[in-house]
Structure 1
Amino acid sequence: MIKVSFDEITDVLLDIFRANSEALPAISPFIVNRDLYGKVSLVFREEIEDHPQTKEAIEKISTLMAEKLGNHCAPSDRIVFFEPSLDSVKIGGVCHSMEEFPSVTVVDRVTCESDWTKIEPEKSGCPRIVFFSIKGGVGRSTATAIVAWALAQGGKKVMVVDLDLESPGLSRSLLSEDKRPRFGVTDWLVEDLVENGDLVFKDMVATSDLSYDGEIYVVPAHGDKPGEYISKLGRVWMPKTTPEGKREAWPRRLNRLLLDLESTLEPDVILIDSRSGIDEIASACITDLGAAGILLFALDGDQTWSGYEVLFRHWLKTGVSELIRERLHVVGAMIPDIDKGDYFRELLENSWKIFTDNIYDEIPALSSPENGTTEGIYPFNFDEADETAPHYPWPIRWNRGFSSLKSIHSKITTIDKTQVNGVFGSLVEGVQKILDTGGPQDDRR
């Protein structure tokens, strides 16, 4: 039997559809369904099931699938289905059109509740800013704490939420030990499953004594005593069945918590410290919460850029880049003092390349009014040296005094704005710009 890997499924299907392109209009639209095991079946409209012409085309295509997809093809009696509604088949799956054949929809069945392709629009009201990184150890949590401190220095009411639940610690940078609340996000997500959220809600927020002219409200991953944290962590991602019998996915539960906290505390901005990596937790932070700004922390290295490229290509392939790209901005983490000019140039060049290849529009050839050019409409594209562009890194200078998260609380009590500006100035200015303009860029293209 032919052996085909998961990554080869799409190419094999494209070859089959190209070879039968004349027959496709009669059987389209239809669905390519990939189940949890990666096995492929086809779903067609019920109304074409008994047509001799369509029956022959479907049989030919399904036979080729069985021959060429190997173990990634569904069993012979489950390759083809007919349903009265294709839209109902799409429910619960990750959907995107197949390149070259827009009438063919690929529906992926995945185990996670979050979906990198379902982009929530920017939320109105209090802006949310997500601090994200592909890899850990880039100083993301420290930067979140410093931005909160700086905004509070300017009189802002800042709510900081630690959603790095599997590697918590942000609260230590903003709260002294005696200030930590009894509960945290994990406790609420677990208690909410049994309609017990109100038990912990009133004691899961603490006010930092570093607030100064504004306020810093800290919502930790867990409380001062984690308790059975591992057992709780294994339940936080659970969907909830409401008393009315409705199913609520965990990202929706998380969003409900944030809305309740926002209504209670009335902050000017919400800073969210996301888990690193490409998993469903990070997906919920980036795509499900309606963030106004998504800060992509980057070290210049193959691991960073290959990770972001995987994510960007997925957005490009599924056609959702335009829904999120104006909210993205790269943050250059831990810029070294030695050879910092060369390092930053390489960081900038690599960042610009993956944005150009996957996020930015292609610039059309010069044209004239005679062939339909419309003045005032510009592609979403930026020069490499454009400092307002999403790819242009906001640099954070490496500094020994800020390199240890454990010492940040005591460090903040002794620093001043000059010290912060020297290390985090570009980041703080960039975040302030998001709050002032509604997005990371000065010029919304």
Structure 2
Amino acid sequence: MTTFDAILPALAGILKSYEASIKPYLPLIINRNVYGCIVLIIDACHEETIHLESDDSGMRQLTAKICVQLKPHVKEPERLWMFEDNLQLLIDDPRTLKFPLEDNEMRPIPEVYVIDRLAQEATWETISDPDDDSRVSRVVFYSIKGGVGRSTALAACAWSLAASGQRVLVLDLDLESPGLSTSLLPHSRQPAYGITDWLVEDLVGNGEAVFEQMHASLSTQQRGELIVVPSHGFEPGEYVSKLGRVWMPGFTPEGHRQNWSERLQRLILALEQKHQPSIVLIDSRAGIDEVASACVTDLAARRIYLFAVDSLQTWQGYRMLFDHWRLHGVAPIIRERLQVVGALIPTWGDGAFKQATRQLRENAYSLFSGSLYDEAWPEPDPEAEAIGALSSDLFNFDLPDLSAPHTPCAIGWNQAFAAIESLHDRLQSTDPDQIKLVFGSLLTDLQVIIGDNQ
């Protein structure tokens, strides 16, 4: 019997074998439902024709082969086909989330598309573009695995930027494992509410009741300011019960449906309008789930830091995500915003930091070149000017290129920042130059992002 991962490759092979038979019925949509079962959708104008196909026709053979080979992910033959009026309009509609079916050489099969029906609305392939007119940039700190120094790096960078005169808005969106806000704020400064409270109250139109009491401001010795919006308030209350409701869609006063990430976007816009920050730093949930999806793809971030340790689990996780973007054709939309960060690079031993950074860069290069970088063009023919022009537009970097997203912002392991529990007190007593020494490469990139908006 066919398992889930074999459905599309097997179907692609069958369709290629019966290419002549299926061609008159194209375009074709493969609809894969939440259970992993498929139906094939063609235009309604073919409904009568397909029913008149003889028992020995190519289409009847194709149908029988699909039902046998893809069992149990297909139903009986008479339920395999569905018919849709004006199918091409559905395909052309930008709201239709689809991707081309690929053959075994990863080449799209013309006019054959896949629509995936998922149980949750987080899809990872709806990429929101940053607003070019916005005066504030959003930066997401993300990792495929936890325990890689992501939240510590965000806290230290936020503190340093505020100390240098910037107004920094920090959002703790690691809702299922909150902790960043408690490390930045002393217990006495924790606000009454947090992001989870607002998302729950917004479902009943009561978001304004908690909005003014869900952020806390810390002034630094300089003219900067650090504004922290926690996951939960001073008293978490029924946090687990609230967390189970934040993913719910809501409705605007005009009756328009909004999924949970759209509601979150509305909250962030309101916070930006209120505080007018220089930059917004967002601590994302680790892994591949709904919160992480919203942070990475739905919040129009200008920079997405991919925190990594040099391990097989890290690279496998990122490769799954990159391959998903490539398959759905959205890799070119998001890849220029990505930047690898190594936050726990060993510093003990002769040459350990340099060697570990080099190894991290090489493995990151292998990941990016295999999934996100364009294939390099061959040396252009001097007479082929068009090819030369195209090659300059390729998204491709050499291994040693310091400007490449695979070249990590390298942060060495440091005892002073090894634990996040008491980071607030530690940051207050730490020499700003030490923070810059440890997190300098990341801070430099953040300063460039702030400068681009001013």
Quote how far apart the aligned CAs of 1:130 are: 0.1
SS at match of 2:20: coil
CA change 1:271–1:141 in 2 (3 A) is same
Question: Which residue is 1:188 aligned to?
Answer: 198
CA change 1:387–1:91 in 2 (3 A) is closer
SS at match of 1:355: helix
Letter in 1 for 2:2: V
Question: Which residue is 2:311 aligned to?
Answer: 301
SS at match of 1:413: helix
Letter in 2 for 1:31: I
Question: Which residue is 1:68 aligned to?
Answer: 69
SS at match of 1:395: strand
The reply to whether residue 392 of structure 1 matches residue 407 of structure 2 is yes
The one of 157, 171, 176 equivalent to 1:166 is 176
- Where in structure 2 are the equivalents of 1:261-410 lying within 5 Å? 261-338=271-348, 339-371=352-384, 372-375=386-389, 377-410=392-425
The one of 241, 245, 252 equivalent to 1:231 is 241
Quote how far apart the aligned CAs of 1:173 are: 2.3
The one of 151, 162, 170 equivalent to 1:152 is 162
CA change 1:211–1:303 in 2 (3 A) is farther
Letter in 2 for 1:98: L
Is the CA contact (8 Å cut-off) linking 1:27 and 1:54 kept in structure 2? Answer: no
Quote how far apart the aligned CAs of 1:23 are: 2.7
Quote how far apart the aligned CAs of 1:197 are: 0.4
Distance 1:48 1:68 in 2: 24
Q: Once superposed, what is the RMSD of the aligned Cα atoms?
A: 1.9
CA change 1:397–1:418 in 2 (3 A) is same
- Structure 1 unmatched runs, 5+: 439-445
SS at match of 1:51: helix
Question: Which residue is 1:80 aligned to?
Answer: 81
Distance 2:9 2:395 in 1: 29
Distance 1:138 1:291 in 2: 21
Which range moves more in the overlay, 327-336 or 340-349? 340-349
TM-score by length of 1: 0.94
The reply to whether residue 120 of structure 1 matches residue 128 of structure 2 is yes
Is the CA contact (8 Å cut-off) linking 1:144 and 1:273 kept in structure 2? Answer: yes
SS at match of 2:426: helix
Which range moves more in the overlay, 384-393 or 373-382? 373-382
CA change 1:366–1:134 in 2 (3 A) is same
Quote how far apart the aligned CAs of 1:67 are: 1.0
The one of 421, 425, 444 equivalent to 1:429 is 444
Deviations 1:334-373 (A, max 9, x none): 1111222222121111001000101111111111253332
Distance 1:186 1:288 in 2: 18
Question: Which residue is 2:434 aligned to?
Answer: 419
Distance 1:369 1:175 in 2: 62
CA change 1:58–1:261 in 2 (3 A) is farther
CA change 1:415–1:185 in 2 (3 A) is same
Distance 2:72 2:426 in 1: 58
Question: Which residue is 1:36 aligned to?
Answer: 34
CA change 1:46–1:149 in 2 (3 A) is same
Which range moves more in the overlay, 268-277 or 92-101? 92-101
Letter in 2 for 1:367: P
SS at match of 2:356: helix
Letter in 2 for 1:6: F
How many residue pairs were aligned? 436
Which range moves more in the overlay, 264-273 or 70-79? 70-79
Question: Which residue is 1:98 aligned to?
Answer: 101
Which range moves more in the overlay, 268-277 or 364-373? 364-373
The one of 38, 44, 47 equivalent to 1:46 is 44
Structure 1 runs (4+) deviating above 6 angstroms are 89-93
Is the CA contact (8 Å cut-off) linking 2:339 and 2:405 kept in structure 1? Answer: yes
Distance 1:218 1:54 in 2: 66
Quote how far apart the aligned CAs of 1:93 are: 6.8
Is the CA contact (8 Å cut-off) linking 1:48 and 1:54 kept in structure 2? Answer: no
Question: Which residue is 1:442 aligned to?
Answer: none
Quote how far apart the aligned CAs of 1:40 are: 0.8
Distance 2:279 2:342 in 1: 22
Quote how far apart the aligned CAs of 1:429 are: 0.8
Which range moves more in the overlay, 341-350 or 322-331? 341-350
Which range moves more in the overlay, 85-94 or 67-76? 85-94
Distance 2:438 2:86 in 1: 57
- Where in structure 2 are the equivalents of 1:253-264 lying within 5 Å? 253-264=263-274
Quote how far apart the aligned CAs of 1:245 are: 3.8
SS at match of 1:50: helix
Is the CA contact (8 Å cut-off) linking 2:380 and 2:388 kept in structure 1? Answer: no
Quote how far apart the aligned CAs of 1:60 are: 3.4
TM-score by length of 2: 0.92
- Where in structure 2 are the equivalents of 1:13-24 lying within 5 Å? 13-24=11-22
CA change 1:356–1:46 in 2 (3 A) is same
Quote how far apart the aligned CAs of 1:142 are: 1.1
Quote how far apart the aligned CAs of 1:91 are: 9.2
Deviations 1:16-51 (A, max 9, x none): 111111133311111001011000110111112123
Distance 1:107 1:57 in 2: 25
Distance 2:197 2:58 in 1: 55
Is the CA contact (8 Å cut-off) linking 2:192 and 2:233 kept in structure 1? Answer: yes
- Structure 2 unmatched runs, 5+: 103-107
Distance 1:248 1:53 in 2: 41
Distance 2:412 2:217 in 1: 28
SS at match of 2:437: helix
Which range moves more in the overlay, 371-380 or 73-82? 371-380
Is the CA contact (8 Å cut-off) linking 2:353 and 2:412 kept in structure 1? Answer: no
